[in-house]
Chain A
Amino acid sequence: AQSVSQHNHHVILSEAASLELGCNYSYGGTVNLFWYVQYPGQHLQLLLKYFSGDPLVKGIKGFEAEFIKSKFSFNLRKPSVQWSDTAEYFCAVNPDSNYQLIWGAGTKLIIKP
Chain B
Amino acid sequence: GAVVSQHPSRVICKSGTSVKIECRSLDFQATTMFWYRQFPKQSLMLMATSNEGSKATYEQGVEKDKFLINHASLTLSTLTVTSAHPEDSSFYICSASASGGAHTDTQYFGPGTRLTVL
Name A's B-contacting residues (CB within 8 A): 32, 34, 36, 42-46, 49, 51, 90, 94, 97, 99-101, 103-106
> Contacts A43-B93, A46-B2 given: A100-B108 contact, CB under 8 Å?
no
* Interface residues of chain A: helix, strand, loop or mixed (majority): loop
- Judging by beta carbons under 8 Å apart, are B43 and A45 in contact? no
3 tightest A-B CB contacts, nearest first: A44-B109, A43-B111, A103-B43
**A43 near B112: Cβ-Cβ < 8 Å:** yes
Name which of A42, A44, A51 has the most chain B CB atoms within 10 A of its CB.
A44
Measured CA separation A57–B21 after assembly (Å)? 35
* Cross-chain contact A97 with B44 (CB below 8 angstroms): no
B89 within 8 A of A: no
Give chain B nearest CB distance to A95 CB in angstroms: 12
Chain B residues with CB under 8 A of A44 = 93, 95, 109
Q: Which residues of B contact A103 (CB under 8 A)?
A: 43-44
Docked complex: B66-117 residues within 8 A CB-CB of A: 93, 95, 97, 105-112
B46 at the interface (CB under 8 A from A): yes
Contact A97 B93 (CB under 8 A): no
Q: A103 to B44, alpha carbons, bound, how many Å?
A: 8
